[in-house]
Amino acid sequence: MLKQTLLKATEAAAIILKENFNKPFTISNKEGLNNLVTEVDHKSEKAIIDIIRHDYPEHYILSEESGEIVQDSIFKWIIDPIDGTINYANSIPMCCVSIGIEIDGKMEMGAVYNPFINELFFGQRGFGSTLNDQIIQVSNKADVATSCLATGFPYTYLDMANGPLEVFGRLIKNGVPVRRLGSAAIDLCYVAAGRFDGFYEHKLQAWDSAAGFLIVEEAGGKVTDLKGEYYNPYQHGIVATNGKIHDELLRWIDDKI
């Protein structure tokens, strides 16, 4: 039943994204320049929350636009109604719906759906990850130099040692290809599918990574924070890889190569 509700909510939001794509809609700024929210974000979010509250009115909800709907429940739904809002606002079809389900503090199920290319990623703890119902696995690349990586940048620059631009510059100056798609959830799923060998980012929110990091782990990958410690979606830094390049990528990020 949980999975059915998750997929139903994901599909309902995806329909809204497609119906409103490349059409006029209102856009406003949240905190920080170019940290956008559109009326489609709100429509998508409402569709998701309505379905969850119909099936599970007692469940806790954390969503990017509405914040927390607090309930005394071990079940928490973590929602990004459009991951990649800037892409969406500019009619770039590299964006998705992302929903994760946490049970008693542990992420147990997640779905990420890009309806523009009809790719639905799904992961469930202990059951693996799939793309359109086909099992996926991370890549086998064994070193960073031959890897294809992905990253993202925060809307406000992080003035910190080995910050986003420093790490990016270090990698590309050494010939390592690093892509920026504009959707962390898709980046994570592409690691899970073996398209990217690794992904790192310095500042994400829980809704950006909740579904995607589980999908990576269930596809055989490894996910930690920027220091190689246990990852949870409520802290900002993330490194997700095929596992084989993980320790080396951490050294690149920490400027210890």
pLDDT at residue number 186? 98
Q: How many residues does the chain have?
A: 257
What would the pLDDT profile of 224-253 be if each residue is shown by its tens digit? Answer: 999 999 999 999 999 999 999 999 999 999
**């959707």: which residue's tokens?**
183
CA dihedral 13, 19, 20, 23 (to 10 degrees): 170
Residues 6 or more apart whose CB falls under 8 angstroms from that of 178 comprise 149, 150, 151, 168, 171, 172
Mean pLDDT by 10 residues, the chain (257 residues): 97 96 73 66 95 98 90 97 94 97 98 98 98 98 98 85 94 98 98 98 96 98 97 95 98 93
The DSSP call for residue 164 is: H
Alpha-carbon distance 222 to 241, whole Å? 5
Q: Bridge-partner residues for 222, per DSSP?
A: 241
Joined together, the tokens standing for residue 121 give: 């990623």
pLDDT at residue number 154? 87
Alpha-carbon distance 111 to 98, whole Å? 6
Rounded to two decimals, what is the model's pTM? 0.95
pLDDT at residue number 107? 98
pLDDT at residue number 33? 54
**Cα–chain-centroid distance for residue 130?**
15
- List domains and CATH numbers for the chain: 2-135 (3.30.540.10), 144-253 (3.40.190.80)
pLDDT at residue number 29? 61
Measure Cα distances from 227 to 10, 87, 206, 223, 248 in Å.
33, 30, 18, 11, 12
Q: Where are the beta strands (DSSP E) in 104-221?
A: 106-114, 119-124, 128-131, 134-135, 149-151, 178-179, 198-201
Are the C-beta atoms of 217 and 251 separated by less than 8 Å?
A: no
